[in-house]
Amino acid sequence: MNSDGQDMIAEIAGRIRGLAAEGRLPAERELADRLGVNRYVLRKALEDLRQKEEIPASQPRNRGKRRSLGAGGIIDLTSPAELWEVRLSLEPEIARLAAVRGTSAELDAIKVAHQRSEPTVFDLELDIGFHRAIAIASHNALALHLMDQVMEVTRDPGFRSRFPAFTTETGWRHHEMLVEAIRARHASEAEEAMRLHLTAILQWLNGGADPARYAVK
Protein backbone atom coordinates (compact mmCIF):
# COMPACT_ATOMS: atom_id res chain seq x y z
CA MET A 1 0.00 0.00 0.00
CA ASN A 2 1.37 3.44 -0.92
CA SER A 3 2.10 6.18 1.60
CA ASP A 4 -1.15 8.01 0.82
CA GLY A 5 -3.12 4.88 1.68
CA GLN A 6 -1.17 4.40 4.90
CA ASP A 7 -1.73 8.03 5.85
CA MET A 8 -5.47 7.65 5.29
CA ILE A 9 -5.60 4.51 7.45
CA ALA A 10 -3.62 6.29 10.18
CA GLU A 11 -6.01 9.25 10.04
CA ILE A 12 -9.09 7.00 10.23
CA ALA A 13 -7.50 5.01 13.07
CA GLY A 14 -7.03 8.24 15.00
CA ARG A 15 -10.68 9.18 14.56
CA ILE A 16 -11.79 5.69 15.59
CA ARG A 17 -9.54 5.92 18.64
CA GLY A 18 -11.34 9.10 19.68
CA LEU A 19 -14.76 7.50 19.28
CA ALA A 20 -13.66 4.40 21.19
CA ALA A 21 -12.51 6.57 24.09
CA GLU A 22 -16.08 7.83 24.33
CA GLY A 23 -17.39 4.27 24.23
CA ARG A 24 -19.50 4.87 21.13
CA LEU A 25 -18.26 2.61 18.32
CA PRO A 26 -21.24 1.59 16.17
CA ALA A 27 -21.43 -1.28 13.68
CA GLU A 28 -18.97 -1.22 10.78
CA ARG A 29 -21.45 0.01 8.17
CA GLU A 30 -22.58 2.94 10.31
CA LEU A 31 -19.00 3.72 11.28
CA ALA A 32 -17.86 3.72 7.64
CA ASP A 33 -20.70 6.08 6.70
CA ARG A 34 -19.90 8.38 9.60
CA LEU A 35 -16.20 8.55 8.73
CA GLY A 36 -16.82 8.77 4.98
CA VAL A 37 -14.58 5.83 4.05
CA ASN A 38 -15.06 2.47 2.39
CA ARG A 39 -15.24 -0.74 4.41
CA TYR A 40 -11.76 -1.86 3.28
CA VAL A 41 -10.04 1.22 4.71
CA LEU A 42 -12.16 1.03 7.84
CA ARG A 43 -11.27 -2.61 8.47
CA LYS A 44 -7.56 -1.95 7.99
CA ALA A 45 -7.73 0.86 10.53
CA LEU A 46 -9.67 -1.33 12.98
CA GLU A 47 -7.19 -4.16 12.48
CA ASP A 48 -4.25 -1.87 13.24
CA LEU A 49 -5.91 -0.62 16.42
CA ARG A 50 -6.72 -4.15 17.58
CA GLN A 51 -3.18 -5.33 16.95
CA LYS A 52 -1.92 -2.46 19.10
CA GLU A 53 -4.61 -3.38 21.70
CA GLU A 54 -5.99 0.14 21.57
CA ILE A 55 -9.51 -1.20 21.11
CA PRO A 56 -10.94 -4.59 22.16
CA ALA A 57 -10.82 -7.48 19.73
CA SER A 58 -14.60 -7.42 19.70
CA GLN A 59 -16.27 -4.06 20.21
CA PRO A 60 -19.93 -4.19 21.35
CA ARG A 61 -22.34 -2.23 19.19
CA ASN A 62 -23.53 1.15 20.46
CA ARG A 63 -21.74 0.77 23.74
CA GLY A 64 -22.13 3.91 25.80
CA LYS A 65 -20.52 4.87 29.06
CA ARG A 66 -22.18 3.22 32.01
CA ARG A 67 -22.09 3.96 35.69
CA SER A 68 -21.89 1.14 38.15
CA LEU A 69 -25.21 0.53 39.88
CA GLY A 70 -23.47 -1.15 42.78
CA ALA A 71 -23.25 0.68 46.07
CA GLY A 72 -20.01 2.39 45.04
CA GLY A 73 -21.52 3.89 41.88
CA ILE A 74 -25.00 4.95 42.92
CA ILE A 75 -23.99 6.78 46.09
CA ASP A 76 -22.92 9.92 44.22
CA LEU A 77 -26.20 10.00 42.29
CA THR A 78 -28.73 9.52 45.06
CA SER A 79 -29.63 11.02 48.43
CA PRO A 80 -30.97 9.84 51.80
CA ALA A 81 -34.44 11.10 50.84
CA GLU A 82 -34.40 9.08 47.60
CA LEU A 83 -33.29 6.00 49.48
CA TRP A 84 -36.20 6.41 51.90
CA GLU A 85 -38.62 6.83 49.00
CA VAL A 86 -37.52 3.41 47.75
CA ARG A 87 -37.82 1.90 51.20
CA LEU A 88 -41.28 3.39 51.60
CA SER A 89 -42.39 1.78 48.34
CA LEU A 90 -40.99 -1.60 49.39
CA GLU A 91 -41.00 -2.23 53.13
CA PRO A 92 -44.66 -1.76 54.11
CA GLU A 93 -45.54 -4.68 51.82
CA ILE A 94 -42.62 -6.67 53.22
CA ALA A 95 -43.98 -6.13 56.74
CA ARG A 96 -47.45 -7.23 55.63
CA LEU A 97 -46.04 -10.40 54.05
CA ALA A 98 -43.98 -11.14 57.17
CA ALA A 99 -47.13 -11.06 59.29
CA VAL A 100 -48.84 -13.47 56.89
CA ARG A 101 -46.00 -15.81 55.91
CA GLY A 102 -43.43 -15.72 58.68
CA THR A 103 -42.81 -18.90 60.66
CA SER A 104 -42.90 -18.84 64.45
CA ALA A 105 -39.10 -19.02 64.52
CA GLU A 106 -38.82 -16.08 62.10
CA LEU A 107 -41.23 -13.98 64.14
CA ASP A 108 -39.19 -14.78 67.24
CA ALA A 109 -36.06 -13.67 65.37
CA ILE A 110 -37.70 -10.31 64.63
CA LYS A 111 -38.43 -9.86 68.34
CA VAL A 112 -34.87 -10.82 69.30
CA ALA A 113 -33.45 -8.39 66.72
CA HIS A 114 -35.50 -5.61 68.29
CA GLN A 115 -34.51 -6.55 71.84
CA ARG A 116 -30.83 -6.20 70.95
CA SER A 117 -31.30 -2.46 70.39
CA GLU A 118 -31.69 0.30 72.96
CA PRO A 119 -34.22 3.16 72.87
CA THR A 120 -31.67 5.97 73.11
CA VAL A 121 -28.69 4.49 71.23
CA PHE A 122 -28.86 4.09 67.46
CA ASP A 123 -26.79 1.20 66.09
CA LEU A 124 -26.79 0.94 62.30
CA GLU A 125 -26.05 -2.78 62.12
CA LEU A 126 -28.74 -3.61 64.67
CA ASP A 127 -31.22 -1.49 62.72
CA ILE A 128 -30.30 -3.25 59.48
CA GLY A 129 -30.57 -6.61 61.24
CA PHE A 130 -34.08 -5.79 62.42
CA HIS A 131 -35.35 -4.75 59.00
CA ARG A 132 -33.59 -7.70 57.36
CA ALA A 133 -35.27 -10.11 59.80
CA ILE A 134 -38.63 -8.79 58.63
CA ALA A 135 -37.60 -9.23 54.99
CA ILE A 136 -36.55 -12.83 55.67
CA ALA A 137 -39.95 -13.53 57.23
CA SER A 138 -41.69 -12.18 54.11
CA HIS A 139 -40.49 -15.25 52.16
CA ASN A 140 -39.88 -13.09 49.10
CA ALA A 141 -36.36 -13.67 47.78
CA LEU A 142 -36.36 -10.63 45.49
CA ALA A 143 -37.54 -8.34 48.27
CA LEU A 144 -34.72 -9.58 50.50
CA HIS A 145 -32.19 -9.04 47.70
CA LEU A 146 -33.42 -5.49 47.09
CA MET A 147 -33.28 -4.75 50.80
CA ASP A 148 -29.67 -5.93 50.92
CA GLN A 149 -28.79 -3.61 48.03
CA VAL A 150 -30.45 -0.65 49.74
CA MET A 151 -28.71 -1.38 53.02
CA GLU A 152 -25.31 -1.52 51.32
CA VAL A 153 -25.85 2.07 50.23
CA THR A 154 -26.89 2.97 53.77
CA ARG A 155 -23.69 1.47 55.19
CA ASP A 156 -21.43 3.80 53.18
CA PRO A 157 -19.78 6.27 55.62
CA GLY A 158 -19.96 9.16 53.16
CA PHE A 159 -23.63 8.52 52.55
CA ARG A 160 -24.31 8.27 56.29
CA SER A 161 -22.64 11.65 56.83
CA ARG A 162 -25.50 13.29 54.92
CA PHE A 163 -28.02 12.26 57.58
CA PRO A 164 -28.85 14.88 60.23
CA ALA A 165 -29.22 13.74 63.82
CA PHE A 166 -32.69 12.62 64.86
CA THR A 167 -34.54 11.23 67.87
CA THR A 168 -33.41 7.61 68.00
CA GLU A 169 -36.02 6.67 70.60
CA THR A 170 -38.77 7.39 68.09
CA GLY A 171 -37.51 4.77 65.64
CA TRP A 172 -37.14 2.26 68.46
CA ARG A 173 -40.76 2.74 69.51
CA HIS A 174 -41.90 2.35 65.91
CA HIS A 175 -39.94 -0.90 65.78
CA GLU A 176 -41.71 -2.06 68.91
CA MET A 177 -45.07 -1.41 67.30
CA LEU A 178 -43.94 -3.36 64.24
CA VAL A 179 -42.91 -6.35 66.35
CA GLU A 180 -46.28 -6.43 68.08
CA ALA A 181 -48.27 -6.22 64.84
CA ILE A 182 -46.22 -8.82 62.98
CA ARG A 183 -46.15 -11.30 65.86
CA ALA A 184 -49.91 -10.92 66.27
CA ARG A 185 -50.21 -11.57 62.51
CA HIS A 186 -52.11 -8.34 62.03
CA ALA A 187 -50.99 -7.81 58.45
CA SER A 188 -52.66 -4.46 57.78
CA GLU A 189 -51.40 -3.04 61.09
CA ALA A 190 -47.87 -4.21 60.33
CA GLU A 191 -48.04 -2.55 56.92
CA GLU A 192 -49.27 0.73 58.39
CA ALA A 193 -46.71 0.63 61.20
CA MET A 194 -43.88 0.32 58.70
CA ARG A 195 -45.37 3.10 56.58
CA LEU A 196 -45.62 5.37 59.63
CA HIS A 197 -42.03 4.59 60.60
CA LEU A 198 -40.55 5.32 57.17
CA THR A 199 -42.82 8.29 56.39
CA ALA A 200 -41.76 10.01 59.61
CA ILE A 201 -38.10 9.78 58.67
CA LEU A 202 -38.69 10.71 55.02
CA GLN A 203 -40.57 13.87 55.98
CA TRP A 204 -37.78 14.78 58.35
CA LEU A 205 -35.17 14.19 55.62
CA ASN A 206 -37.16 16.53 53.37
CA GLY A 207 -36.99 19.27 55.98
CA GLY A 208 -40.20 18.49 57.83
CA ALA A 209 -40.93 17.83 61.48
CA ASP A 210 -38.59 15.82 63.67
CA PRO A 211 -39.63 12.14 63.79
CA ALA A 212 -40.40 12.57 67.51
CA ARG A 213 -43.69 14.05 66.37
CA TYR A 214 -44.64 10.59 65.11
CA ALA A 215 -43.65 8.71 68.25
CA VAL A 216 -46.04 6.03 69.45
CA LYS A 217 -47.64 7.12 72.71
Within 10 Å of residue 145's Cβ, how many Cβ atoms?
A: 11
pLDDT for 13-63, tens place per residue?
A: 888 888 877 766 778 888 888 888 887 888 888 888 888 877 776 544 444
Q: How far apart are CA 138 and CA 166, in angstroms?
A: 28
Residue type, 127: D
Which residue blocks in the chain are alpha helix, DSSP H? Answer: 3-21, 28-35, 39-51, 71-74, 80-101, 104-115, 124-137, 141-155, 157-160, 168-183, 187-205
**What is the Cα–Cα distance from 115 to 14, expressed in whole angstroms?**
65
Q: Which residues, in sequence order, are bridge partners of residue 118?
A: 121
Nearest in space to 147 (alpha carbons), one of 102, 199, 93: 93
3-class SS at 22?
coil
Q: What is the pLDDT of residues 146-193, one digit of tens each?
A: 999 999 998 888 888 887 655 566 788 999 999 999 999 999 999 999
The count of other CB atoms within 10 Å of the CB of residue 154 is 18
pLDDT for 210 beyond 70:
no
CB 202 within 8 Å of CB 84: yes
pLDDT in tens, 54-105: 777 654 444 444 444 454 578 878 889 999 999 999 999 999 999 999 999 9
Q: Which residues have CB under 8 Å from 140's CB, separation 6+?
A: 94, 97
- Between the two ends of the chain, the Cα-to-Cα distance in Å is 87
Third-level CATH fold of 71-214: Four Helix Bundle (Hemerythrin (Met), subunit A) (1.20.120)
- The predicted model gives 200-217 an average pLDDT of 64
Sequence-distant (≥ 6) Cβ neighbours of residue 171 within 8 angstroms: 122, 127, 197, 201, 211
